[in-house]
Structure 1
């Protein structure tokens, strides 16, 4: 059911495959052997016992060629241990780096906001990349997935910024039109006058003005001059074309008679890992290149919430006092996200058993 990885894929992509295999396996486990078998499937004829050496003209025993694979396995499990270390009990897998085994720790009967958010983002990434055969036929629609990803993004924003969050992206759960939704959001924000009607010359079919998540943290006086973030959700690989900073001047300038604030923090929410596509560096450590990559993207996108950060901050939000939960849109929908995950996993398992 899973699209087999190749040895040319990034360590992060292969780590995703191991996680998905453990999640979707009846045994809820994936191992070194599963991955090597997948490499053989991807290699097709080259996965046979012998490989042809074009220089000597001889067939080489595949065992001689195993060393690069084992080195790759070490890098992949280094990636998995990085994820586990970052997330602690919010990580929905147990990693045994000595035996090269991944076990699913995610439990359908015990909702942990961090594990739910991580697993949802993992499946959303697979859905976008068509990594699971037959997943396009699942009853869960693209629209539902995007709506639930906004829930995950809002939970993460609530955990990180520590204040209120409005889910403004389209499709909106309430189904209300753009201007009424904008007016409601900024009544909650407490400052900024939204225009009463869309003026001639402005797009009449605007859905969200390029803004998906509005987050802020009030002072006790609830007056202006406060922490204020505008973010976009990008669940597809075209996220590099979605810097929210390019939208805000038009957003504030077009739809407000009084701007809500001069200073704001740009944010981006993505279901995959920011370092997914990094190639193995030849002369530097992977950790150094990962840091440099994240710093590079920060200059364009601001605060970036990838799968690891969404899971961590969603869990942090869930630990906040109950009287703050109503401040964040989607806080009551964690169970909906968990149910989406469970339905998706069960559908894949049923399809596998019927194949």
Structure 2
């Protein structure tokens, strides 16, 4: 099985080590392993083999440093997400990574789905022979939008709608926008002159809100872009939402739209401040699964989270994908 994954040697040699990529490699290795375990020491072995055909590793970035920094990143992921959302654990000595994927856990499913989407061939070579088919990739992107909807619902602590095209209920743009604003009650949906007559989603993939019982403006209202491709950094809603309001409403909502970007990738602490400057609020792989796990309470309370009924299908696919990968030797 392990030969079916590609060790990302280009990310561990040269000027810097991409510990997110090496951590992903270890997690995928444990996920597909028949005993659900991966030896951290294999990182050093793989790096040594790869480096033998390359220039000598930069000073301070040898095999031991690679292992140490990867272990630290894995530990950080576990601390950020907790057991309900992170399906892996390290032993006390930091030598063995174990996959503890619970097939009934939507938090775990959200993490594995994000892990797979982060390593599609357009982004990373790791999945190699275990790469999903093109048809499966399209379905995985749809699944991620539903997980993003659940995550934003928990983030705002209110109803959420999957608005990205195509919508799960197959509704039209104006029809769906009207349905949402009948619940929110701030502004009136009314396409303005010059607006396209065949809109899809006008770059908004998820709406979530926490309206007050008085139905007056001035409540939490989030609009999110969901991006799973390599060009996610180019899809900010900041600067777009004022135009969205003036294009599709009269009078427009008084309530401010909170821009969100939701991605399956794991952003580093150093990257995060500037990413937020450009994108607005960000939910990434170290936030989405935890929020998805929290969304269960909203569903149990009867709150609207559109697409939540699709999460079980995603969990079933992830379980099947794991079984399929484990048959490869």
Aligned equivalent of 2:86: 91
- TM superposition shift of 1:269: 0.2
SS for the counterpart of 1:222 is: coil
Match for 1:21 among 29, 50, 59? 29
Q: Does 1:184 align with 2:179?
A: yes
Paired residue secondary structure (1:79): helix
Aligned CA distance change for structure 1 residues 177 and 220 (closer, same or farther; 3 Å)? closer
Q: Is the 8 A contact 2:192 2:247 kept in 1?
A: no
- Tell me how far apart the structure 1 counterparts of residues 138 and 182 of structure 2 sit (CA, whole Å): 27
1:283-307 alpha-carbon deviations (Å, 9 max, x no partner): xxxxxxx2x5322222222210001
- Taking structure 2 as the reference length, the TM-score comes to 0.88
- Offset of residue 99 of structure 1: 4.2
Give secondary structure in 2 for the equivalent of 1:94: strand
Q: CA deviation at 1:165?
A: 0.6
Q: Is the 8 A contact 1:193 1:259 kept in 2?
A: yes
Q: Does structure 1 retain, via aligned residues, the 8 Å contact 2:155–2:291?
A: yes
- Supply the RMSD in Å over aligned alpha carbons: 2.4
Measured after TM superposition, the shift of residue 211 of structure 1 is 0.4
Work out which of the residue numbers 289, 292, 296 in structure 1 matches 2:274. Answer: 296
TM-score, length of structure 1 as denominator length: 0.82
Matches within 5 A, 1:300-315: 300-315=278-293
**Number of the residue aligned with 2:39:** 31
Structure 1 partner of 2:115: 122
Do residues 209 (structure 1) and 209 (structure 2) align? no
Q: Does 1:342 align with 2:313?
A: no
Residue 95 of structure 1, CA deviation: 1.1
Distance, in Å, in 2 between the alignment partners of 1:135 and 1:210 is 31
Contact 2:158 2:298 in 1 (8 A): no
C-alpha contact (below 8 Å) 1:114/1:312 kept by paired residues: yes
Between the aligned partners of 2:192 and 2:142, the Cα distance in structure 1 is: 25
**Structure (1 or 2) with the larger CA radius of gyration:** 1
SS, match of residue 112 in structure 2:
helix
Match of 1:80 among 67, 74, 82: 74
State the Cα deviation string for residues 87-109 of structure 1 (Å, max 9, x = none): 1112100112514211001033x
* Post-superposition CA distance 1:233-285 (Å, at most 9, x none): 0111211111111221221111112212341211110001111xxxxxxxxxx
Corresponding position: 1:144 with 2:139: yes
Residue 86 to residue 259, structure 1, CA distance change in 2 (3 Å): same
Query: How far apart are the structure 1 equivalents of 2:173 and 2:49?
Result: 49
Please identify runs of 4+ aligned residues in structure 1 that moved more than 4 A: none
State the number of aligned residues: 317
Structure with the higher helix share, 1 or 2: 1
Contact 1:244–1:301 (CA<8 Å) still a contact in 2? yes
Partner of 1:166: 161
Q: 1:99 to 1:243 in 2, by over 3 A?
A: closer
